[in-house]
Structure 1
C-alpha cells in the first residue's frame, strides 16, 4: 500500500448506546456515574450521560487500524478531548463518525489526522496517529 499526503481514509461510524457504556464500564472498571446516571451527569453540569473518553478514543483510532495492513504498525496515538459524546437514553444512541487524512509522510512514518463528529459537533481535537510505512 502506498501512503501519500492527502490520502483520505474510509470513514467509520460507530453507534454508542447506554448498554455499550455499561459493558465498557465493566471491562474498564470505570463506573463513574456520569456514564450511566442522568441525575449525576446533570448535577455536574453535563448535558446528559456521556461516553467514556477512552471508549471514544479507542473507537477513533479504528479508522486507522482498519485501514493499515498491520495494526501493529501504529506506533503513536494521542487525542485532546474537546466535547463530550452525549449518549441519549433510547434505543438509537448516538452516532459518531470518524474520518482521517494523511498529513505528513517522512522517514518511514506517516502522520494521520483524525476527526470525530457526533451530531454536528467535533468531539476530539488534535487527534493524531503515527504509523510505520514501508
Structure 2
C-alpha cells in the first residue's frame, strides 16, 4: 500500500437518528433515555436526543478500516469530544496522513489527523491515529 503524507482518506458518512442509535444501543445495551428520547434530551438542555459518543468512535474506526482495506491495522486512536451529535445530523469522519515512518525492522506506520464533523463542517471529535501498514 503506497501511503504518503498529505493523503486524504475517503470520507465515511452517516445520517444520524433513532434508527442508527437504536441499532447501536441494542448491540451495546445502551438504552439510555438521553440517547433515545427527545424529551430527555431537551430536559438536559439539548435540542433533541443526543448520539452516543462511542458511536462517533466507531465512525473513526470505520474510516480507518475502510481506508486500510486489510492492508494494515489500527495501533492507536486518541481524541476529545468537542460537540454533540444530535438527531438528524449528517456526521462525516475524515482524515489525512500527516507522517509515514519505517523503523529499522522495516515496519511502516502512518500517523493521521482524523475527526468527525457535522454537515456544516463543525468538528465534533478531533483525534489522531497511528496505523501499521502491511
Place the TM-score, normalised by the shorter chain, in its bin. Answer: 0.7 to 0.9
Give the unaligned 5+ runs of structure 1.
Answer: 88-92
Contact 1:38 1:49 in 2 (8 A): yes
After TM superposition, the score normalised by the length of structure 2 is: 0.86
Is residue 94 of structure 2 the alignment partner of residue 102 of structure 1? no
Deviations 1:59-116 (A, max 9, x none): 12211110113276111112211101001xxxxx321112110012123211111121
Quickly say closer, same or farther: Cα 1:71–1:94, change in 2 above 3 A: farther
Q: 2:59, 2:71 → 1: CA distance?
A: 14
* Partner in structure 1 of residue 21 of structure 2: 21
What stretches of structure 2 of length at least 5 have no aligned partner?
A: none
Alignment of 1:1-134 (within 5 A): 1-70=1-70, 73-87=73-87, 93-106=88-101, 107=103, 108-120=108-120, 121-125=122-126, 127-134=127-134
4+ residue runs over 6 A deviation: none
**SS of structure 2 residue aligned to 1:31:** coil
Instruction: Compute the RMSD of aligned alpha carbons.
Output: 1.6
Q: TM-score, normalised by structure 1?
A: 0.86
State how many pairs are aligned: 128
Give the 3-state SS of the residue equivalent to 1:67 in structure 2.
helix
List per-residue Cα deviations over 1:23-82 (Å, max 9, x = no partner): 211111112111011111111112211111111110122111101132761111122111
